[in-house]
Amino acid sequence: MTDREILEIFEKTGGLLKGHFLLTSGRHSDRYMQCAKLFMYPEYSEVLCAELAKKLSALDVDCVASPAIGGIIMGYAVAKHLNKKSIFAERENSEMCFRRGFGIAEGEKCIVVEDVVTTGGSVKEVISLIKEHGGEVVGVASIVDRSGGKIDFGVPFFSLLSMDITSYPAEDCPICKEGLPLVKPGSRKTFI
């Protein structure tokens, strides 16, 4: 798939938002990739996750692990295409952990799958969690890499679409100075 085809899917589903957004990282941006909108349409999420699974098919992997909440549907769909198990990590007392009976066996090889990567914070937390449980991370994958390829996870990083979308520290945000209302469209609870 081409970048244009992927962007067209985001536009068709309302997943490319424009305005003034508070990102999970605490930074501000004028564009937001809302994969939750994309995942409302199984035909589109199926196509994109199958495409991503093709990029991962050469890796020796036992498990697909995702951070909740954005990566859950995507992790499941990618795991389905790879014929591997799918688990997710979620926050408890502000820390990423495995719950619901999920876990990683010693030496288990994992791919971490996230919908959109900006700073890589949630992915890095899941990588650390897998390592704490004795697992090995063999790759990271996302539909959108908002960093434009600048993030290094220490393992191969695969994405379908790489975009260098500018974001700003809250204290230096030019959009704030314009007076546009700040919106938090993501899944983490943030008070603004």
**143: part of which helix (H) or strand (E)?**
strand 136-145
pLDDT over 90, % of the chain: 58
Q: Read off the tokens for 70.
A: 């954005």
pLDDT in tens, 33-59: 888 888 999 999 999 999 999 999 999
Say if residue 190's pLDDT is above 80.
no
pLDDT in tens, 65-87: 999 888 899 999 999 999 999 99
Say if residue 119's pLDDT is above 50.
yes
Residue with tokens 């914070």: 121
Kindly list the domain boundaries of the chain, sorted by start residue: 3-178
**Size of the chain in residues:** 192
Comparing 51 with 147, which gets the higher pLDDT? 51
pLDDT band of residue 27 (cuts 50, 70, 90) is confident
Q: What is the pLDDT of residue 191?
A: 39
Q: What is the pLDDT of residue 138?
A: 97
Question: What mean pLDDT do residues 112-121 have?
Answer: 88
Q: Read off the tokens for 7.
A: 């962007």
Q: What is the DSSP letter of 26?
A: S
Say if residue 124's pLDDT is above 80.
yes
Q: How many CB atoms lie within 10 A of CB 81?
A: 17
pLDDT band of residue 149 (cuts 50, 70, 90) is confident
Q: What is the pLDDT of residue 188?
A: 52
pLDDT band of residue 1 (cuts 50, 70, 90) is confident
CB of 72 closer than 8 Å to CB of 66 = yes
Q: Name which of 113, 182, 187, 184 is nearest 145 in CA terms.
A: 113
3.40.50.2020, 3.40.50.150, 3.30.310.80, 3.40.640.10: CATH of 3-178: 3.40.50.2020
Q: What is the pLDDT of residue 148?
A: 79
Enter the pTM of the model.
0.84
Q: What is the pLDDT of residue 183?
A: 87
Q: What is the pLDDT of residue 185?
A: 78
Say if residue 192's pLDDT is above 80.
no
Question: What mean pLDDT do residues 172-189 have?
Answer: 82
